[in-house]
Amino acid sequence: MRNNTAGSITNFMEGVRHRNRAQKEFQQAVGEWAHDVFPWVSQNPAYQGHNLSARMTEPDRIIIFRVTWEDDNGRFQVNKGYRVQHSNAIGPYKGGLRFHPNVNLSILKFLAFEQVFKNSLTGLPMGGAKGGANFDPKGKSDGEIMRFCQSFMNELYRHIGPFTDVPAGDIGVGAREISYLFGQYKRLSNTFTGVLTGKGLSFGGSEIRVEATGYGTVYFMEDMLRHQKKSIEGKTCLVSGSGNVAIYATEKLIQHGAKPVTLSDSGGFIHDPDGITQEKLAWVKDLKEKRRGRISEYADEFGVRHYPGERPWSVPCDLAFPCATQNEINGDEAETLIRNGCEGVAEGANMGSDADAIAVYRKARILYGCPKAANAGGVAVSGLEMAQNSMRMSWSRKELNQHLGDIMRGIHERCVEYGSEPDGYVDYLRGANIAGFRKVADALIAYGTSA
């Protein structure tokens, strides 16, 4: 990187840190983006002189609100609700809702920022947003979840709409929560529209949406391997998490002949050296989706080891799929992965790897499917759910799976276009950052000061 570009990044990041004090995840996301985008802009004069870096790192607006709800003992509880509408430059705001006790403004701002470029990469007309609450769904009854979702929507409904902002699920927000949220929106607005995605199939949902993020992450890994004339068959794979993304990434790995050997949750991970089979995964789906149990129960059921409080990255593998939460692989763990033979990482989770880990992957020149690219399948099928809602029709599972595969291939091609190096190595993160940036930048330049 030339010295004057490095200097501009340092100055810019000083301003970002000053304006977004104590928001370390947001600073981390912007820093990683600037590292790739600034050098490209310095070589492309058409993108200079519009102050795009400042315009793209300040959200359009942030809504913060109180959510009061009644627990099963008749006590009033209070949580903090958020919606970060980062940019609608290329389409209505779009991005998930997260219910988790560690939700704060920094995490939602980083997620909304990344969502803008991820959505741009899909090629579909969607802006970027993220929202949620510091509400912990664990241990809550169905009635409590319903009352919380209804109260959350009592405020959120003023700020969203099928042409304004279309939320979806994320950590702690699955089919059950989306149904309660959608029901309340419908009641408050007296409209039936595609205002949320991830809906049930009987009321406007799309086939493949539940599976899309996990399947798409595996498709992206296969695209990266295919580019190197390799295949996923027979590869030993580590998966973290045991929620929506982890379950369907594992399912696709099994279907395509790979051998997933780990799953985790916030209590630790299980290692099944014989491989997680479709039958065992069906048991996990029931455990997590119906019984809402802990992954440690897998160890008792199938006679394997559970490692309490640990993450799976010390297990030898060919490929790794972080699918739980942000910053779950650090620099040391990345070194361990590579020392043990790992040749590729594809992130189902957002910001699964921290900045040190990414530097390790880049240095070792292993395949690194960054989240903006690798987990874009979920939002892509959400975009297709919006299209189906607008047309008042639905496509078949086969057609949607085909669309998902095509979209992931398109994202891979855009990453290769902008991330290829002279020796043939593809820096997928750089490719995703620049390709995602370019489309949004073109729109901002066209709008002038209106955006």
Residue 349 as a binder of ligand NDP (CB under 6 A): the answer is yes
Q: Using the rule CB under 6 A, is 324 a contact of ligand NDP?
A: yes
Closer CB to ligand NDP, 236 or 326, in the complex: 326
The CA distance from 97 to 434, in Å, is 26
- Name the token pair of 208: 């493949």
Beta bridge partners of 94: 166
Q: Determine, following the binding rule CB under 6 A, whether residue 170 of this chain makes contact with ligand NDP.
A: yes
Tell me, yes or no, if 140 is annotated catalytic.
Answer: no
User: What x-and-dash track marks residues 380-409 binding ligand NDP by CB under 6 A?
Assistant: ------------------------------
Nearer to ligand NDP, 204 or 241 (CB): 241
* Residue from 120, 122, 197, 244 binding ligand NDP (CB under 6 A): 244
Per CB under 6 A, the list member of 375, 389, 401, 433 interacting with ligand NDP is 375
* # chain residues binding ligand NDP, by CB under 6 A: 23
Judged by CB under 6 A, which of 325, 388, 389, 401 binds ligand NDP? Answer: 325
- Using CA atoms, how far residue 229 sits from 215, 223, 224, 226, 232, in Å, is 20, 10, 9, 5, 10
Query: 323, exposed or middle or buried, with CB in 10 Å at 0-12, 13-18, 19+?
Result: buried
State which H helix or E strand residue 179 sits in: helix 175-189
Would you state the structure tokens that stand for residue 449, as one six-digit string?
């000061």
Residue at 18: amino acid letter? H
**Residue 265 interacts with ligand NDP (CB under 6 A): yes or no:** yes
* Residue 260 found at the interface with ligand NDP (CB under 6 A): no
Q: Which is nearer to ligand NDP, 80 or 294 (CB)?
A: 294
Q: Are 306 and 293 in contact (CB under 8 A)?
A: no
445 burial class (0-12, 13-18, 19+ CB within 10 angstroms)? middle
Query: According to the binding rule CB under 6 A, does residue 197 interact with ligand NDP?
Result: no
* DSSP secondary structure string for all residues of 350-366: TT-B-HHHHHHHHHHT-
| Residue 266 near ligand NDP by CB under 6 A | yes
Q: Is 169 in the site for ligand NDP (CB under 6 A)?
A: yes
Catalytic residue among 109, 130, 259, 439: 130
Instruction: Name the minimum Å distance from CB 248 to ligand NDP.
Output: 9
- Kind of pairing between the strands at 367-369 and 76-87: unpaired
Q: How far is the CB of 321 from ligand NDP (least distance, A)?
A: 11
| Sites for ligand NDP among residues 4-33 (CB under 6 A) | none
Comparison of 44 and 102: residue with beta carbon closer to ligand NDP: 102
Residue 418 class from Cβ within 10 Å (0-12 exposed, 13-18 middle, 19+ buried)? buried
CA distance 383 to 405: 14
- Nearer to ligand NDP (CB atom), residue 17 or residue 24: 24
The C-alpha atoms of residue 304 and residue 106 are separated, in whole angstroms, by 38
CB of residue 168 vs ligand NDP: minimum separation in angstroms?
A: 7
Question: Under the criterion CB under 6 A, does residue 242 sit at the interface with ligand NDP?
Answer: yes
**Alpha carbon of 398 to those of 197, 318, 385, 450: distances in Å?**
19, 30, 14, 41
> Which 3 state secondary structure label does DSSP give 431?
helix
Binds ligand NDP by CB under 6 A, chosen from 171, 315, 320, 357: 171
Kindly tell me which residue out of 39, 241, 369, 383 binds ligand NDP, with binding defined by CB under 6 A.
241
* 172 lies in the binding site for ligand NDP (CB under 6 A): yes
Question: So which residues are the catalytic ones?
Answer: 130
Query: Contact residues for ligand NDP (CB under 6 A)?
Result: 169-172, 174, 213, 241-246, 265-267, 323-325, 348-350, 375, 378
